[in-house]
Chain A
Amino acid sequence: MLNIGVLNQGIVIDHIKAGGAMKIYTYLNLENLDCSVAIIKNAKSNFMGKKDIIKIEGTLDGINLDMLGALDHKITINIIENGVIIEKKNPDLPKTVTNILKCKNPRCITSVEQGIPHTFKLTDRENGVYRCVYCEQAFERR
């Protein structure tokens, strides 16, 4: 396995569905961070077969990490201090999310009307299903 090195201080977002890391990278605006960020794609996983991981050397002040649950409800967030995990959490699924997911239904009003927020509601907590509030189409994670 590729070795990226151990974090002394930072955040590891683990168990990201393989191929999903860039969506999380974009949502968290990680390109604007000044610190080291590693994206590991298709890492071997006993549980998932393949997974993505993001390692961030630094903090993410002011960002609601629970919102990540809407992007991928199976991820684990590890907070690292002095080289050890001090907190491990699975983000809760927010009841509504705005401008995080984008409706892909070409028949939805959001495909033509400018300036309306893309809002999704959690309709099935067990399976992490979000539906567009306008057309009610479920958001499909790929």
Chain B
Amino acid sequence: MKHIISPTDLTVTELSELLDLAEEIIREPKKYSDVCRGKKLATLFFEPSTRTRLSFEAAMLNLGGNILGFSSADSSSAAKGESIADTIRVISSYADICAIRHPKEGAPFVASVHSTIPVINAGDGGHNHPTQTFTDLLTIKNLKGRLDNLCVGFCGDLKFGRTVHSLINALARYDNIKFILISPDELRVPTYIRKEVLEANQIEYQEVRNLEESMPELDLLYMTRVQKERFFNEEDYVRLKDTYILDTKKMSYAKQDMLVLHPLPRVNEISTEVDDDPRAVYFKQAEYGVYVRMALIMKLLELEE
């Protein structure tokens, strides 16, 4: 039995198999519409996240399975003080697989230690969110046709954005990847990502402040939101939140086949005028999130045959 706690819990080979299955589901969704009949997915959301929860639930329903769960700690036994370990021991007897989101970092790992069913981390605080990374990788693979030989720009909050850290970690395992890290000084990628991931693996990267100048070089641009909840000081948030706004003028500097990704929700960092540009694939990316979760559920339940 396998759990998915971190994006690197899957080897490059396993990841390739997962993405192949997701692409097969995209091609022939009907073929998979009943493979999870009689199976139940528990969505244990100790903090609200409508998008991720609905994506997991849609994935299980698309596979013909059933869902149960809760969407906030208030409506769970956690409000009575129950530990994660006890909660998962009980849920293990109700469901076949579970997706867990928790505000505390490492909570899904604790659950996996005590669980008798596969546990998927659906986001633990500012730490990991592996299915978002798998979604990003499926989007890139399906629309670019490859995960290697790419110049990838990350723009915005590169300090607190866990999706950025996870995707850098995941892409660092492929050949000939170059990163251009575009952020204000205050929101640079943390030192440990530079030292332990980029420099340790001798991966080419640049840190720059200017988005326009980087645009012509990029194969992918991963935009991120500056998250208010990560700041202790409102003044800093207000000062930094609109540092980068992607608009049609900036898009005019980009390659014709560059893709713009964003984990959503978007606020001001991508002007709505960009939405009509065929290179803006962030809504398509959300759709891919369902397919990759379908593939992951099948893999973890060992239903692929």
Q: CB-defined interface of A119-142 with B at 8 Å, one 1/0 digit per residue?
A: 000011000000011111110000
Q: Tally of A-B residue pairs with Cβ under 8 A?
A: 52
B159: Cβ under 8 A from any A Cβ:
no
Q: Give the residues in chain B near A124, CB-CB below 8 Å.
A: 196
Q: A123-B196, A124-B196, A138-B192 are in contact. Are A113 and B85 (CB under 8 A)?
A: yes
Q: CB-defined interface of B48-84 with A at 8 Å, one 1/0 digit per residue?
A: 0000000000000000000000000000000000011
- Select the stretch in A5-13, A72-80, A103-111 that faces chain B: A103-111
Q: Give the residues in chain B near A115, CB-CB below 8 Å.
A: 83, 85
Q: How far is the CA of A11 from the CA of B105 in the complex (A)?
A: 40
Closest A residue, CB atoms, query B107: A109
A109, B110: Cβ atoms closer than 8 Å: yes
Interface residues on A, range: 20 to 34
Interface residues on B, range: 10 to 19
Q: Give the residues in chain B near A4, CB-CB below 8 Å.
A: none
Q: How far is the CA of A115 from the CA of B125 in the complex (A)?
A: 21
Q: Give the residues in chain A near B103, CB-CB below 8 Å.
A: 107
A1: Cβ under 8 A from any B Cβ:
no
Q: Give the residues in chain A near B109, CB-CB below 8 Å.
A: 109, 133-134
Q: How far is the CA of A133 from the CA of B108 in the complex (A)?
A: 12
B85, A107: Cβ atoms closer than 8 Å: no
Partner of A109, one of B106, B126, B196: B106
B104: Cβ under 8 A from any A Cβ:
yes
A109, B102: Cβ atoms closer than 8 Å: yes
A116: Cβ under 8 A from any B Cβ:
yes
Q: Give the residues in chain B near A135, CB-CB below 8 Å.
A: 105-106, 125, 127
A114: Cβ under 8 A from any B Cβ:
yes
A-B contact pairs, 16 of them (CB 8 A): A105-B105, A108-B104, A108-B106, A109-B84, A109-B105, A109-B107, A113-B85, A115-B83, A116-B85, A116-B110, A123-B196, A124-B196, A133-B106, A133-B109, A134-B110, A135-B106
Instruction: Give A residues with C-beta under 8 Å from B.
Output: 105, 107-116, 123-124, 132-138
